[in-house]
Each structure stands twice: as C-alpha cells, then as structure tokens.
Amino acid sequence: MKIEEVRARAFAMPLTNPSFPRPPYRFYNREYIVITYRTDPAALAAVVPEPLVVTDNVVKYEFIRMPDSTGFGDYTESGQVIPVSFNGEHGGYVHSMYLDDDAPIAGGRELWGFPKKLASPKISHEGEVLVGTLDCRGLRCAVGTMGYKHKEADKDAVLKAMMAPNYMLKIIPHVDGGPRILELVRYYLEDIQVKGAWTGPAALELFQHVTVDVAKLPVLEVVSAIHYVADLTLGMGEVVHDYLA
C-alpha cells in the first residue's frame, strides 16, 4: 500500500477494517431517562477540568436507549453529565459513559473523545415504572426508577436543553505513554426532533465500583427527572482548548 493510499484511507483503526464507519451518525427513537440530583460540590470540583466552570452542584444521570443508530446499530448507554459554562456559555461536561457496544465505544473515543467504557446498561418498562440499570461484570453499579409518563413536559424546553453545547476531554496517548492529544472538545446535537417528553417522580442509587466510579459523585437529593424520545444527528466536534499548546 502506497503512502498516498494510506493517507487517503486512514480515518480510524484498524486501517483496513475500521471499527466504525465514517460519520455522520443519525439516531432514531433515542429514549432518555435523565435524573438530576444534587451532589457534593467538592466532588464536582475534583473532576471538572479548567477552563470549564461548574455552574451548580448537580449532576444529570442519564440512561439512554438507542435502538436504531446509523453506523452504530442497537445499544444502550448510561453516564453522568455535569452542568458547566465555558466563556460564559452554559452547557454540559460529559464526565462518564458506559455502554454495551464496541463500535460506538471506539468511534466515540477516537473521534470526539467521549469517556466511554464497556459495561451493561439497560432500560426497561416494568408496569408503571421506568427502570434504568448499570451493571459491570455481574455487579450492580447504578439503578434509577421513574414513574411512567406522569405528566407531559414542555417539548420546546427539552429541545432548547438538547441544543446546548457539550464538552469533553479528548486524550490520545503518545507511544512514550504521555499525552499526544489533550484537548477540550465541544459538540452539538443537530437536526433534533423531540417526539415526546414526560416528567415524574424518581429515585436513584449509585454503588461503589473500582472501574465504574459513578458513586464518586454521590446522590444527596434527587431534584427532578425527565423521560423523552427524540431523533437527532450527532454533530462533529471542535477543539476549544488545547492543553498542550
């Protein structure tokens, strides 16, 4: 293979059989259960990197079911997003993500820098209760429950929240073990269609686990919960701060 062909073909690893196709990625009927809870401000300060600024001592714990996503297939995800601001603009810092499918783990980490790790999240409808769970190798790490469609939510407000910027750290190591890339990345969701949104009572428990460390941001009080379904496109990222520059 000539050098020019390598340059033309290479966008992901492995070179001749990448783990995921080229973007963009469209998601249909993406189902969210988002439980917002109050946590320890010191715990937030310990994990949110400058130049991001924590705007409130709350965390959004997410369970997301993705039954139909171009390129990535059918999978489920769970993790934590922290409200922050960057240069005065409010958004969310993606702190942790756990999912059960190789392609979006590889693509999310390599393209955007999503902090994705392999685990076993699940969303189920158990009678009048929505249930979100996160397990890792047979051990329970998180469980969230929410009343099923108690009250319709404002879809315009949900759309506005989904359109806010999201931030994460993209870290790619050098061959010597140090960082080759260390960047703060911003991305947006695009072409969003909110199909339905509901609120209801909720509960959330997080359990200590050495590799799934969601409990390091402890639940002090559940503030609110929302359940919604939407179609969307995952927009590509942009570098807003280079830590190695």
User: Is residue 116 annotated as part of the catalytic site, yes or no?
Assistant: yes
Contacts 24+ apart (CB under 8 A), 175-184: 179/243, 179/244, 181/244, 182/242, 182/243, 182/244, 183/113, 183/239, 183/241, 183/242, 183/243, 184/49, 184/51, 184/52, 184/86, 184/239, 184/240, 184/241, 184/242, 184/243
Q: Which residue among 2, 116, 149, 151 is the active-site one? A: 116
Strand partners, 25: 234
> What value does the CA radius of gyration of the chain take, rounded to a whole number of Å?
18
Catalytic residues: 116
